[in-house]
Amino acid sequence: MTHPSTPTADGEALAFYVAEDAHAEGSTMLGFWIYLMSDCLIFAVLFATFGVLGRNYAAGPSAAELFELPTVALNTAMLLLSSITFGFAMLAMEKEKLRTTLVWMAITGLFGMAFVGLELNEFAHLIHDGATPQRSAFLSSFFTLVGTHGLHVSVGLIWIVTLMVQLGLYGLNPANKRRLMCLSMFWHFLDVVWIGVFSFVYLVSVLQ
């Protein structure tokens, strides 16, 4: 009979924990991919809705009259930069550099907050000028699409802060690394969606 403390038993225990961790990682990533696919469907519906209603101005202001492309371009730059800094955070995570990971995540959060702040400022100006969601089908679809994306970014910011606290408490353990991977996919997904918003909602609407 093998004693529990023998090398054989220790090796079996280690193999068991490694297998369990690999199973947990696979389940987490699969579940998160399924969630992202469902989010893709939501944004696809919103893009399609804007495509149908985007020119229904109801004798109200048009996109060319409302949108300020330099401000939108600045907002886009904020989100693109945040995606780059999140990439640096992931590289630091792979090198087991906790402090560097936290610094890059904090910078990512600052860029994200700048993005949300600029978006809220745009909404405030539109509403102040009378371009409210109920003014036309164009504005209803615009506020719904852009607002839904902004809500996702806000949730991402809360997630960043929460994960930074968990990293500070427990370090770069396997569970936190999985969470970082999921958050990274979520953040880059929002970046890709925003490129679509910038191109399809702002550029195309203004240039038509």
Q: Which pLDDT tens digits describe the chain residue by residue (208 residues)?
A: 444 545 555 555 434 444 445 555 667 888 999 999 999 999 999 999 999 999 999 999 999 999 999 999 999 999 999 999 999 999 999 999 999 999 999 999 999 999 999 999 999 999 999 999 999 999 999 999 999 999 999 999 999 999 999 999 999 999 999 999 999 999 999 999 999 999 999 998 887 7
pLDDT at position 24, please? Answer: 59
CB-CB contact of 49 with 198 (8 Å)? no
Residue 24 DSSP SS3 = helix
Q: Which amino acid is at 102?
A: L
Tokens describing residue 172: 């770069």
CB hemisphere CA count around 95 (13 angstroms): 11
pLDDT at position 13, please? Answer: 44
Nearest CA-CA partner of 206 in 41, 13, 70: 70
CA 63 from centre of chain = 26
Task: Read off the DSSP letter of residue 54.
Answer: T
Tokens describing residue 89: 């955070």
Residue 201 DSSP SS3 = helix
Q: What radius of gyration, in Å, describes the C-alpha atoms of the chain?
A: 22
Domains, the chain, ranges and CATH?
86-203 (1.20.120.80)
CA 138 from centre of chain = 25
Q: Would the CA dihedral through 7, 10, 16, 17 be positive or negative? A: negative
